[in-house]
Amino acid sequence: MDVHEELLRGQAEVWQFMFAFTYSMALKSAVELRLADIMHSHGCPITLSQLASRIDSSCPDISHLARIMRMLVYKGIFAAHHPSDGGDETMYGTTHISKWLLHDSELSLAPMILVQNNQWLLAPWHYLSQCVKKGGIPFRKAHGSTFWDFASQNPQFNNLFNEAMACTTKITMKAFVSHYKVDGFNNIRSMVDVGGGTGTALAEIVKSYPHIKGVNFDLQHVIATAPTHEGVSHIGGDMFDAIPNADAWILHDWGDEACIKILKNCRKAIPEKIGKVIIVDIVLQPDGSGLFDETRLVFDLLMMVDLSGGKERTELEWKKILEKGGFPRHRIIKIPALQSIIEAYPE
């Protein structure tokens, strides 16, 4: 490649980076309009006019829809079938990508798409460079409060966020339960999910291993919206004060100091011989080229933008905080998901 061609390619890539947000917005519109659901319920390829007629609107703009669909087809989210009989109307259908946009599917990313592209979570990104220059948390600069305080004071956002966490948890826990060795659960009689949201993760585990007594532990305003799960009890509280006794815990993302404090609280209550901490979280591989490696780096930026001290970690970084928290031994189990399983032992 000569210098001029290389420079031209660089220009093209900058344009793509510059307008990458349009892909997210087009994807969000597809979810809001329930385009995948309409195609799925239709059961076969559908024309643009048929698609428009089933949108929840008395006067949908077909020309706007056509242009959005053109982009979504180009990105592979939907498929376009041109009639072989010479007909004028293009037929649209689903793909392996659009199946993740279905609202009523057991495994769906639709709620996550809606919350991540909501104005509340997009606003903090405009403070990214400012926080590099002066420090601080972009979310606090955008909204004047921490992420968790904002959620506790804004029921609409809280529900939107909890729905998104529930949908992603189902995806992760399906991989977790199916790939975590049976021995990992056999000696566990009770399990606490620390910061478990509405209890979706723990419910999936208890459903597969009903001998485990599950305790979902989170802030009171989160527990208040949690549904009933068989075999799971909900307890509201602060993980930095104390954690309910159990044979095992599941932890999620926090800053290093906060993580160490939580781990120490777990260590205080853990049974000496059979107790362990099970962490279901991202393990970064900055130079990796795996299916989820780029998305894991994106999640690290998400943590930086939204949470005070929140971060994703490499295995070495995990090892350091586990040792400081009282867990000198650990092993990482890779599963077909964004996250991995980290087992940590007190001896």
Q: Coil, strand, or helix at residue 218?
A: strand
User: Could you tell me if 169 and 226 are in contact, meaning their C-beta atoms sit under 8 angstroms apart?
Assistant: no
Q: Coil, strand, or helix at residue 105?
A: coil
Q: Torsion over CA of 70, 71, 73 and 77, rounded to 10 degrees?
A: -140
Catalytic member of 143, 229, 234, 252? 252
User: Could you tell me if 342 and 335 are in contact, meaning their C-beta atoms sit under 8 angstroms apart?
Assistant: no
Q: Torsion over CA of 38, 44, 47 and 49, rounded to 10 degrees?
A: -40
252 noted as active-site residue: yes
Q: Coil, strand, or helix at residue 190?
A: strand
Angle between helices 200-208 and 155-179 (to 10 degrees): 30
User: Could you tell me if 194 and 252 are in contact, meaning their C-beta atoms sit under 8 angstroms apart?
Assistant: yes
Q: Coil, strand, or helix at residue 46?
A: strand
- Expressed in angstroms, the distance from the first to the final Cα of the chain is 56
Q: Coil, strand, or helix at residue 216?
A: strand
Angle between helices 315-324 and 256-269 (to 10 degrees): 50
Contacts of 318 (CB under 8 A, 6+ apart): 279, 283, 330, 332, 342
Q: Are strands 276-281 and 340-345 parallel, antiparallel or unpaired?
A: antiparallel
Give CA–CA dist 162/235, Å, rounded.
16
Which pair of tokens denotes residue 275?
Answer: 């107790």
Give CA–CA dist 51/46, Å, rounded.
6
Catalytically active residues are 252
